[in-house]
Amino acid sequence: MTPTYYLLLSALLFTIGAVGVLVRRNAVVVFMCVELMLNAVNLSLVTFGRINGEIDGQVMAFFVMVVAAAEVVVGLAIIMAIFRTRRSASIDDTNLLKY
Amino acid sequence: MLNPFLAQQGGAIETPQIDYAAILPILIVLGAACVGVLLEAFLPKHQRWPVQVGLTLLTIVAAGVALGAYVGDAPEQGITTLSGTVAVDAPALFLWGTLLALALGAVLLIADRSVEPGGAFVAQAGISPGTVQDRAQVSSTGMQTEVFPLTLFALGGMMTFTAANDLLTMFIALEVLSLPLYLMCGLARRRRLISQEAAVKYFLLGAFASAFFLYGIAMLYGYAGSVRLADIAAATAGTDRSDTLLFAGFGLLMVGLLFKGSVGPFHTWTPDVYQGAPTPITAFMAACTKVAAFGALLRVLFVAFESTSWEWRGVLWAVAIISMAVGAILGLTQTDVKRMIAYSSIAHAGFLLVGTMAITDEGLSGTLFYLLAYGFTTLAAFGVISLVRDASGEATHLSAWAGLSKRSPLLAAVFTFLLLALAGIPLTSGFVGKFVVFSAALSDGMAPLVVIALVFSAVAAFFYLRVVVLMYFSEPAPEGPTVSVPGAFTTAAITLGVVVTLLLGVLPAFALDWAGAGGFALSS
Amino acid sequence: MLLSQATGGAALAQEGAGPGLDMYLPLVILFALALGFALFSVLLGPLVGPSRFNKAKLSAYECGIEPSPQPVVGGGRMPVAYYVTAMLFILFDIEMVFLFPYAVSADALGLWGVAAITLFIATFFIADIYVWRRGGLDWN
């Protein structure tokens, strides 16, 4: 089992997340796609750590998890605030700012 | 495979050496931010505002004093501390000084309550816009004083961002500076829907960009086996590694950094967020985030990717041209003054990138000087914008600015001066900034790019002058906006910005010397 | 499958018999402590806490919110307080992420490690104090 497969899986997950951010319309789902991207990065970090034979990659994955959690807290608070006003979490409805 | 955690249990892990004197400014700012949160928790409502304002201003001054005390006897080639994760060298010290001075001005704007009773921030962010309670709180004089600790957290993140010597530290600092900004964008007292919308947009796009930044880090870790900038530089010297990982990592990393600097094709959030956020926060973002983002960009390019500059320079050429074109051309079509300054900031990001790409001492000092000059000018410009108001709050539509010189000659003169500085007219800091940046690019063999940049500065000058003409040669609308008489705080912030803009234009030598005091610390 | 596992376990136990057995003493103590803590928590609640009954407490998954069908009041959405609690949970979750690696190498890190992790926890609790003082822990 070569580590390359894990890297490919990670790239695939990252791409799914990125495409999800671009095509989905619900703010919460968009946000979950970003989380998917971060976790795909975690997989890459751990795999590279294994390839390099050190634990730095795992330690970095910890930090990414922490940052992702902090982002969840801040992001949900913002999305909740706008959801309570508009009764909808669709980012198509947030259209006051246009040029 | 042996469990590395268990393997370490035998011997003691070496504790990192910390040079407390060098990182004292960051420690003061972040420590005071924590104290600010505690004050929020324990103080009764009516005492919060004066105490928080006092604490925040005192903190920034104290951090500045600590910085000044350290600069006096700092080693010339800089030091790295905390196991080499933070580099305190001449560019970092210069950027810290710039950030602290700009943050002082921004905090003065944030704290101002004379222009609008209660300040530019909402009294209770938890109340939904449009409800009965919301209409009641428009006229109340309370505000969410959490803004002050959040500002300090963001400032601490920015200072760490410019000094981060490895990519993981840089990522954490990026989040520490971004998360408070996302929240602060949504706290406007007036036009709350637009403000909340700006917060959502900034948050979603910011999180998207930091995911790219992080994937870049993972790629570079795979390439170099380390995320230290110096180790990546060492790895690029060897040729047996996969270039795919290097360039994929570099590209993804750049997406994250250029997003924060609102450069080129990664700028789409900038006009919306600048327009929707409360104007003092826009001033803080426009001035300080730009400084932090380009500070980090400079360090990454100079320390980690200097030897591969021929491979990536073409890509950044394209990015710089797109950024200048988008900023200058779309800026022409804007009808809202905050959006116009936002597009101006995109164009300036392109000019800054021209200087950043010149991997020479002149490029470094020129870009640092440009950041200092641009920060103060844009800070003062947003300060002026917060003064022109009508019944519904700030009158940011350009038609409201027609004939403003007849209502308030002083304000029109100040804004004209700032616009001329943004356009880069001689005797302002903008001219000196553009001059040093473009001459650095010229001497590094980027003549075609400099010509393109000059063309776009001329195009951009047109939309600044359009506003000047509008203010001086149009008849004022009969029910136009009033110009508020600013209180001490806003006056101080605008004066600070204008004086620095003028001084750097007339006597730039001092700041140029300081900006050119030394290069990045290269030891890891 | 089960059988082989069982015999394997027995073989392992036999190997462990003799001088190596005291290796498992900390494990036994840990089990005892865990059991004691669980019993303590379960028994203390009914003894000292007020006992108020409501329908939700009798349902299969008691987590503070009504199971389906959702309440009509509020448009069938979760109460905001639920999200505040969820955010607090995530914060404590983050704390654990750093406490586990620290605990594993606590010996090697020595006194400096204790100081560092204490500072970390203290900083962390500043956020909790804020939430507590500003009413984030009140359900209503």
Number of C-alpha atoms within 13 angstroms, CB side, residue A40?
Answer: 25
The domain containing residue A52 runs over which residues?
4-86
What percent of chain B lies above the pLDDT cut of 90? 65
Per the CB < 8 Å rule, is A87 touching C93?
Answer: no
Give yes or no for A12 touching C (CB within 8 A): no
pLDDT band at C19 (very low <50, low <70, confident <90, very high): low
The pLDDT of residue A96: 58
CA distances from B334 to B183, B193, B342, B477 (A): 26, 21, 10, 19
Among C108, C123, C126, beta carbon nearest to B13: C108
pLDDT confidence tier of residue A97, bands split at 50, 70 and 90: low
Q: Is the pLDDT reported for residue B126 higher than 90?
A: no
- Across B54-63, B248-257, C105-114, C130-139, least confident range: C130-139
Of C75, C83, C97, the CB nearest to A66: C97
C57-84: average pLDDT: 58
Once rounded to an integer, what is the mean pLDDT over residues B242-267?
91
pLDDT of residue C58: 62
In a domain, A26, yes or no: yes
What secondary structure does DSSP assign to B186-248, as a single string? Answer: T-BSSSHHHHHHHHHHHHHHHHHHHHHHHHHHHHHHHHHSS-BHHHHHHHHH-SSS-HHHHHH
Average pLDDT of span B325-340: 92
Return the domain boundaries, chain B.
18-515
Give the per-residue pLDDT at C17.
Answer: 47
* Predicted confidence (pLDDT) at residue B523 exceeds the cutoff of 70: no
pTM to 2 decimal places: 0.88
Residue C134: the pLDDT is 86
C81-111: pLDDT as tens digits: 777 788 788 888 888 888 988 998 888 888 8
Nearest one of B331, B507, B495, B329 to B417, comparing CA atoms: B495
Residue A98 inside a domain? The answer is no
> Quick one: DSSP state of residue B13?
P
pLDDT band at C2 (very low <50, low <70, confident <90, very high): very low
CB atoms B5 and A97 under 8 Å: no
Distance (Å, whole) CA C98 – CA C61: 30
Q: Residue B394 is inside which H or E element, if any?
A: strand B393-394
Mean pLDDT of B77-82: 87
Q: Are B359 and B487 in contact (CB under 8 A)?
A: no
| Burial class, B318, CB count within 10 angstroms (exposed 0-12 / middle 13-18 / buried 19+) | exposed
Average pLDDT over residues B475-479: 78
Closest CA to B119 of B183, B194, B189, B191: B189
Helix (H, G, I), strand (E, B) or coil at B164: strand
Task: Please name which of B462, B181, B508, B477 lies closest in space to residue B347, comparing C-alpha atoms.
Answer: B462
**Residue C77 CB: number of other CB atoms within 10 A?**
13
Averaged pLDDT score across all residues of chain B: 89
Residues 6+ apart with CB under 8 A from C61: C67
Query: C69 falls in which pLDDT band (50, 70, 90)?
Result: low
**What is residue C67's predicted lDDT score, i.e. its pLDDT?**
52
Q: Do A67 and B172 touch (CB under 8 A)?
A: yes
Cβ-contact B376, B105 below 8 angstroms: yes
pLDDT digits (tens, 9 = 90+) for B195-228: 888 999 999 999 999 999 999 999 999 999 899 9
A65 touches chain C (CB under 8 A): yes
Closest CA to B115 of B510, B508, B488, B492: B488
Residue C9, pLDDT score: 43
- Please tell me the distance from the alpha carbon of residue B250 to that of residue A3, in angstroms, as a whole number: 22
CA–CA gap between residue A28 and residue A41 (Å, rounded) = 20
For the domain that residue A25 is a member of, what is the CATH number? 1.10.287.3510
* pLDDT-above-70 percentage for chain B: 97
